[in-house]
Amino acid sequence: MGNRTFIRPSGTSMAVLGLAILAAVACGAAGGKGQKGGGKKGPLEPTTYDPQVSLAPLVDKVSPAVVNIKTETKVRVPGFMGPDNLFEFFFGPRSNRPSPFQRREREQTRQAAGSGFIVDRDGLVVTNHHVVSGADEIEVQLSDHRAFDAVLVGSDERTDVALLRLKDAKKLPVVEFGDSDVLRVGDRVVAIGNPFGLDHTVTTGIVSAKERVIGAGPYDDFIQTDASINPGNSGGPLFNLRGEVIGINTAIVPRGQGIGFAIPSNLARQMIESLRSDGTVVRGWLGIVPQPLDERLAEAFGMKEPAGALVANVQPGSPADEAGIEAGDVIVQIGKKKLEEARDIYGIIANLKPGKTIDFKVVREGKRRKISVKIGQRPDEGAAGTADDGGGAKAPAGELGVSVGELTDSMRSRLGAGQVKSGVVVTRVDPDSRLGSSVTEGDIIVEVNRVPVGSVAEFDKALSDLEKGDDVLLLLFRRGAWIYKVVRL
């Protein structure tokens, strides 16, 4: 078998490490607008030392604002209760009393460690969500060995950012955020944190890559660095040579060396401001399902190149629906930001303020048009349905190599497709056919070449006009997701 690589958070479990030590910290920043006592306004002045000779002046400058975080979480675990006396141990319980050997839950305290950094002189600390998630007690220790109890102001699981407030804290050292957008691959960076509980460890390296997608969620946009990051560094800062925080160290590749990931400061700063003011993150919402474009899809939708986000579905009543965006549109620009890849739309929309009206540029049937959209507030995400293959009446679909059945109410319920108004269900797929690699059993075919199909008869009719060599554009609903596929007969 080949090597398997997993991305995991860089926090440290004290139970696993067996270390009875305080947790790490790091990184800091902020003192931006509206932050009480947040230090100087604007970026820090360039350091006067020569980084080629020593990084010590930089470390001396920022280390006081890097903190260790220790958490305790009470959990219930299966336990074992023995007999009350030796007689019952050897001969069992007397009369009808319950067995002396019973499984009972017992309470256990688990400790974990991480890092963080101070962004406000009155005690606001930034760290990762996964460092403090579910914690019953949080303690933060500074580099001068002062310790503070902390409370959670708010956290955001999707971006893995959390904000703490230290109790009875005043006049603390702070660090500020820099601009992560101006980072270049090859820029030197410094990480400070508590790997494996080793207090205030400093490592250095370069920016290895930007905009890394590691499967953490829709807002993946990580800075990759070869500055050594290990368990316990989670929540700690990644500094540029000006002493500004340009990332929050978050994840590692366990079997890799010199591969660590940090949340860009520009993304983190927006989350922190929202957490501070509202205790939660308020995201903009459009109400579409975007899909990446490849060359064949771009050609099918009248695009010269595969740049932008293809709208696979529009949620009824959403801001996109009310503005007139349609399935099959390709969004190429939002405000002044051009879309190169579909995944970029998640971050752009999330960072827009609900209620703001912004112009979208879309391509529809090969022609560009401008659509003004009033951004909504993102609602809670519901659970997506799970697809399942079903029976029903079957009909051959010619050279496509599939059989389809009617979409009944019971089938719609089984497939978790309550939002699909009409379509046909794929009940069988010939793996050697043209559709064998594009369609699976349980898929719902909603459109053929932009024409809705509501029955097996309509599906067959849509295919009857096609000839060998024609491209077929299908809109599918699969396991809660809307997908466009292009298949050549």
What is the predicted pLDDT for the residue at 305?
A: 87
What is the predicted pLDDT for the residue at 21?
A: 33
Helix (H, G, I), strand (E, B) or coil at 210: strand
Annotated active-site residue 133? The verdict is no
Give one word for 95, left, alpha or beta, with left for phi > 0 and alpha for psi -120 to 50: left
Residue type, 378: R
**Mind listing the pLDDT tens digit for each residue in 84-103?**
555 555 555 555 555 555 55
Task: Give the number of other Cβ atoms within 10 Å of residue 4's Cβ.
Answer: 6
Contacts for 40 with CB less than 8 Å, ≥ 6 apart: 31, 176
- Catalytic residue of the set 10, 115, 120, 130: 130
- Catalytic residue of the set 120, 160, 199, 226: 160
The structural domains of the chain, with segments of one domain joined by +, span 1-279, 284-377, 395-488
Contact indicator for 115, 233 with CB cutoff of 8 Å: yes
Burial class, 56, CB count within 10 angstroms (exposed 0-12 / middle 13-18 / buried 19+) = exposed
Residue where the block lists tokens 């497709």: 417
Contact indicator for 96, 218 with CB cutoff of 8 Å: no
- Identify the CATH number of the domain defined by range 395-488: 2.30.42.10
Q: Which element (helix H / strand E) includes 12?
A: strand 12-13
Q: Residue 219's closest CA among 87, 323, 129?
A: 129
Contact indicator for 306, 293 with CB cutoff of 8 Å: yes
Between CA 425 and CA 234 the distance in angstroms is: 46
Which residues of the chain fall below pLDDT 70?
Answer: 1-52, 77-106, 215-218, 379-401, 430-437, 465-469, 488-489
Helix (H, G, I), strand (E, B) or coil at 436: coil
Annotated active-site residue 234? The verdict is yes
Phi (first) and psi of residue 138, to 5 degrees:
-130, 125
Q: Residue 121's closest CA among 138, 142, 137, 145?
A: 142
Superfamily of structural domain 284-377: PDZ domain (2.30.42.10)
The CATH-assigned architecture of domain 1-279 is Beta Barrel (2.40)
Output the average pLDDT for the chain.
Answer: 78
Contacts for 33 with CB less than 8 Å, ≥ 6 apart: 41
- Catalytic residue of the set 228, 234, 265, 274: 234
Task: Give the number of other Cβ atoms within 10 Å of residue 283's Cβ.
Answer: 25
Between CA 268 and CA 152 the distance in angstroms is: 16
What is the predicted pLDDT for the residue at 197?
A: 80
**Mind listing the pLDDT tens digit for each residue in 41-76?**
344 444 556 666 789 999 999 999 999 999 998 877
Per CATH, 284-377 and 395-488 having the same topology is answered yes
Annotated active-site residue 160? The verdict is yes
Residue type, 277: S
